Structure 1
Amino acid sequence: MVVVALVSAISGLLYGYDTGIISGALLQISDDFQTGDGWEQVIAASILAGAVIGALTCSRLGERRGRRGTLLVVGIVFVVGTLGAALAPNPVLLSVARLVLGFAVGGATQTAPVYVAELAPTKYRGRLVLCFQIAIGVGILIATIVGATELVDWRISIGAAAVPAAIMFLLMLRLPESPRWLLKAGQDDRALEALERVRPDGYDVRAERDEIAELVQEENQASTSGWRGLREAWVRPALIVGCGLAIFTQLSGIEMIVYYSPTILTDNGFSDTVALRVSVALGATYLVTQLIGLAIIDRVGRRRLTLITLPGAALSLIVLGTFFVTDNAGKAQVPYIVATLVAFMAFTAGGIQLMGWLTGSEIYPLATRSAGAAAQSASLWGTNLLITLSLLTIIDTIGTGQTFWLYAAFNVVAFIFLFKRMPELTGRSLEQIEGRLHEGRFRPADFAADDRSRTPAR
């Protein structure tokens, strides 16, 4: 199980590092290749286009060929894409290599959490999901620190990711296939062997195998399953909430800040050093507030935490935009601008960013869960791609401050959407959530009414 935890952590680390390293690297790449805003957007966005393809492809590949086999392929693609990007002689090949790398990023974020969840004992499952979520923040922080040193050439900083990718591949060679997938494929004996390899001596693996087999049988007999099942009317509310939430995690402005904050700041008169140090502060804030959010989410509630933090994120962007619109973005205002950026990152990373991956594992019915998670992942990466391809162009067209205001408006729309659509899932079992969908009672008011009915009268 230590190896399983490491695989989960490395896949999250690679996601955070590979998407975050381009932030500081773009400053060097633009000097080496003499690129303008158009090419910078393509270079940054190519990994996201690959991630959409990887998430959708690996979802189907994981069902047909197994989670372990898919992750072994992903590990190889990680290494190839990373080395290709590091050795690229021009922006065209750099973009192509990052497209390949993106396939691995999307495939890993789609397959690794599913594989780990299916292999882990129930009491450790939450901790292993935590490893993945926190590792994303660690990856982003490491990427910003590497960029802020200004001593590491961009080719080395990008190519360094090949090392953890190779380690992930080697670790996967030691691990068995998912017992759940093996049972679904009719390989009962191999499923038992897989469980024996990741359970302590004396553990009743046969009872666990039988329990998994019952769930697999229920899934196989379900009338609503897979991608086709997502089109069913009773499943649609979950799909709307899940994909809507995924889209708004990106429209919140988080990727604008992660990818382009050094570029935005240097374009507005900040030195490279200051801009890169701000990136480190933002990366640290992301990690710390993610830890805080994960520590309190089960007590505060998913819906409540999201609705509390969204207004703070919107207000931070309004204030940030005002600095630039009123031409108060000079040296004297640097501390206030940095403080506002940090505040935005804290509200966003500690709130809505926690929900994008979490809801995909719990909001969908059992028989459509894999397809629903893939659709949600593709929605997230697709929105990220559109933002990354258009952001610098939007800034050039309407201005930096006005762009911050635009993203503040997205946060307001997100608040309205989630207030009306997203029920409080905290404290509900997966079976209870699926039951509400079956009953057509998936609105926030329906869940609140159930809570009131269970509260004893005084």
Structure 2
Amino acid sequence: MPHSDITPGPASRPAISSFMWLAAGTAAIGGFLYGYDTGIISGALLSISAEYNLTHGMQEVVAASILLGATIGGVGAGAFSDRFGRRRTVIAIAALFAVAAVAASLAPSALLLALARVALGIAVGACSQSIPAYVAELAPAARRGMLVLMFSVAIGLGIVTASLVGYGLHGVLSWRWMVAVAAAPAAVLFVAMFALPESPRWLIARGRPDEAARALARVRMPGADLRTELEAVAETVRRSRESRTRGWRGLAQPWVRPAVIAGCGTAAFTQLVGIEMMIYYTPTLLKGVGFAETSALQVNVGIAAIYLVMTALGLAIVDRVGRRRLALVTLPGAALSLAVLGTLFALGKTGPGDAPYVIACLFLFMVFQAGGLQVIGWLTGSEVYPLSVRAAGTSAQAGTVWGSNLLLTGTALSLIHHIGAGGAMWVYAGLNALAFLFIWRFLPELSGRSLEAVEDALRRGRFRPSDFARTPAASSPNGWPPSSRAARPRSASSR
């Protein structure tokens, strides 16, 4: 692995093969299911609450139950993925998505609905851990951001679809049909994954280099330098086997700790900034401050549409702009939008004449959040962890996401109930400001660097944002300058 005082140079941007696009797009169906199954509760909750006569506390239980399952699935998926492979894990997740969606749609009581949503959440959490890692291990380094973020765009598409279904079918079809329809794309994902390759990195780690070469050849352009890429992966695998840094215990090692802080901290803030509260509770929130039910559902559709558009825009620019820079540019706007919204709520400015300002604040918050921090959340988790602890790291990342989401969703309505909608928005505005400070302090710029190069930076203790600012990605296949490829990181085998 290279060791370098990196010299500037533009990152190469190799062409993406059609099969690589197909693999990333197919895996992204899991992102659609994530978005739909979590987002459908926003429109369906009004009908569910009426059918079961739910208190605001029980509404939180029904909404947040999927997040409890997601926390379990996110933490547990890594071990399953390491043992059985990335592809088989996604196949199992697709089957669980289908079964759990049908079970939720048939639930005869609110409690059984919540339990079914826990099972559905296990699939959501496992999907959020496994699919970005699977795509990241297939993708070429310089185009990894775009390909992994197809998952995030699919989440946005799922949320938009859920909001349109919730609005268009509200009062027309039962909420049960809204929930059950998710079984169809789950079945498509289940079948399609059988045609995709296993992760070359996982195959090499299992001592199957010939299969790894064939798998990599399927997702690269003809004439690509497969040998160099496979050698880099094999070297990383060799070092991970010799290393004492493995699994969950490995995450506590001093040289891995910066990755854990950057990855899990970013993951926590993607939820704590309040975006999921907007996705789940916007109709309930707006109805509570005086909006008509139909108007609240229409605003919800607009929020979902903005989420999709901005996530797609983020996908298009993240490899050029950079992960860190994108978050730092957008977070101040998100914080300001919520601060103004909180002021409108606190002053009671929610009447018909004030509605455009309320809606504008909601939409602007979504523009800045969905186009910034949300873009990099899952991407960061797929990039920062060394191979020997990658399954544990991505599991910790997913568990942090869903645990934070559970905390937020399980307390949002109670927070609004106790301190008012205005006070709640100010709390979330403050959390957006804290997210800015965290990204500025702890998250380096990873654009254009291979997974092996990121691991090398960790091993050499050069994972601070300032280190990466002085060492832009070069045109080497591993993200470091060709001139220093012969050197090795110090003490690599002993760590």
Flag whether TM exceeds 0.5 (same fold).
yes
Rounded to whole Å, the distance in 2 between the matches of 1:346 and 1:39 is: 31
Question: What runs of 5+ residues in structure 2 fail to find an aligned partner?
Answer: 1-18, 473-495
Following superposition, the deviation at residue 270 of structure 1 comes to 1.0
Question: How many residues matched?
Answer: 452
* AA of the residue aligned to 2:397: Q
What does residue 391 of structure 1 align with? Answer: 412
Closer/same/farther in 2, CA of residues 172 and 439 from structure 1, 3 Å limit? closer
Following superposition, the deviation at residue 114 of structure 1 comes to 2.3
What is the aligned counterpart of 1:158 among 179, 190, 208? Answer: 179
Following superposition, the deviation at residue 268 of structure 1 comes to 1.5
What is the aligned counterpart of 1:69 among 88, 109, 113? Answer: 88
Rounded to whole Å, the distance in 2 between the matches of 1:208 and 1:301 is: 23
Deviations 1:44-95 (A, max 9, x none): 1111111111112111001112222222221221111100111111100000
Rounded to whole Å, the distance in 1 between the matches of 2:217 and 2:302 is: 44
What does residue 443 of structure 1 align with? Answer: 464
What does residue 59 of structure 1 align with? Answer: 78
Deviations 1:102-156 (A, max 9, x none): 0111111211222233345667755532321211111111111111112332111
Closer/same/farther in 2, CA of residues 235 and 188 from structure 1, 3 Å limit? closer
What secondary structure, in the 3-state scheme, does the structure 1 residue paired with 2:108 have? coil
Closer/same/farther in 2, CA of residues 410 and 204 from structure 1, 3 Å limit? closer
Following superposition, the deviation at residue 310 of structure 1 comes to 1.2
What does residue 455 of structure 1 align with? Answer: none
| 8 Å Cα contact 1:360-1:369 kept in structure 2 | no
| 8 Å Cα contact 1:146-1:152 kept in structure 2 | no
What does residue 413 of structure 1 align with? Answer: 434
Q: Does 1:99 align with 2:118?
A: yes
| 8 Å Cα contact 2:104-2:117 kept in structure 1 | yes
- Aligned runs of 1:195-210 on 2, under 5 Å? none
Deviations 1:234-286 (A, max 9, x none): 21122112111111111111011000000001112211110011011111111
Q: Report which of the two has the higher share of helix.
A: 1
What does residue 6 of structure 2 align with? Answer: none
What does residue 382 of structure 2 align with? Answer: 361
Closer/same/farther in 2, CA of residues 179 and 427 from structure 1, 3 Å limit? closer
| 8 Å Cα contact 2:149-2:379 kept in structure 1 | no
* AA of the residue aligned to 2:45: L
Bigger mean CA deviation after superposition, 41-50 or 207-216? 207-216
What is the aligned counterpart of 1:41 among 50, 56, 60? Answer: 60
What secondary structure, in the 3-state scheme, does the structure 2 residue paired with 1:331 have? coil
Rounded to whole Å, the distance in 2 between the matches of 1:82 and 1:408 is: 34
* AA of the residue aligned to 1:242: G
Rounded to whole Å, the distance in 1 between the matches of 2:454 and 2:44 is: 44
TM-score, with length taken from structure 2:
0.85
| 8 Å Cα contact 2:277-2:412 kept in structure 1 | yes
| 8 Å Cα contact 1:226-1:368 kept in structure 2 | yes
Bigger mean CA deviation after superposition, 361-370 or 329-338? 361-370
What does residue 172 of structure 1 align with? Answer: 193
| 8 Å Cα contact 1:3-1:171 kept in structure 2 | no
Following superposition, the deviation at residue 449 of structure 1 comes to 4.8
What does residue 456 of structure 1 align with? Answer: none
What secondary structure, in the 3-state scheme, does the structure 1 residue paired with 2:262 have? helix
Following superposition, the deviation at residue 231 of structure 1 comes to 0.5
What is the aligned counterpart of 1:21 among 37, 40, 45? Answer: 40
Rounded to whole Å, the distance in 2 between the matches of 1:191 and 1:426 is: 25
What does residue 221 of structure 1 align with? Answer: 242
Rounded to whole Å, the distance in 2 between the matches of 1:416 and 1:119 is: 32
Rounded to whole Å, the distance in 2 between the matches of 1:433 and 1:192 is: 22
Q: Does 1:380 align with 2:401?
A: yes
Closer/same/farther in 2, CA of residues 305 and 63 from structure 1, 3 Å limit? same
Rounded to whole Å, the distance in 1 between the matches of 2:162 and 2:378 is: 21
Rounded to whole Å, the distance in 2 between the matches of 1:231 and 1:399 is: 40
What secondary structure, in the 3-state scheme, does the structure 1 residue paired with 2:326 have? helix
Q: Which has the higher contact order (CA 8 A, sep 6+)?
A: 2
Q: Does 1:320 align with 2:320?
A: no
* AA of the residue aligned to 2:328: L
* AA of the residue aligned to 2:116: A
* AA of the residue aligned to 1:183: I
Rounded to whole Å, the distance in 2 between the matches of 1:420 and 1:200 is: 38
Rounded to whole Å, the distance in 2 between the matches of 1:204 and 1:437 is: 26
What does residue 148 of structure 1 align with? Answer: 167
What does residue 454 of structure 1 align with? Answer: none
Q: CA RMSD in A?
A: 2.5
What does residue 148 of structure 2 align with? Answer: 129
Following superposition, the deviation at residue 322 of structure 1 comes to 1.0
Rounded to whole Å, the distance in 1 between the matches of 2:140 and 2:447 is: 21
Closer/same/farther in 2, CA of residues 226 and 343 from structure 1, 3 Å limit? same
Q: Does 1:299 align with 2:320?
A: yes
Rounded to whole Å, the distance in 1 between the matches of 2:469 and 2:76 is: 38
Rounded to whole Å, the distance in 2 between the matches of 1:450 and 1:192 is: 31
TM-score, with length taken from structure 1:
0.91
| 8 Å Cα contact 2:136-2:383 kept in structure 1 | no
What does residue 244 of structure 1 align with? Answer: 265
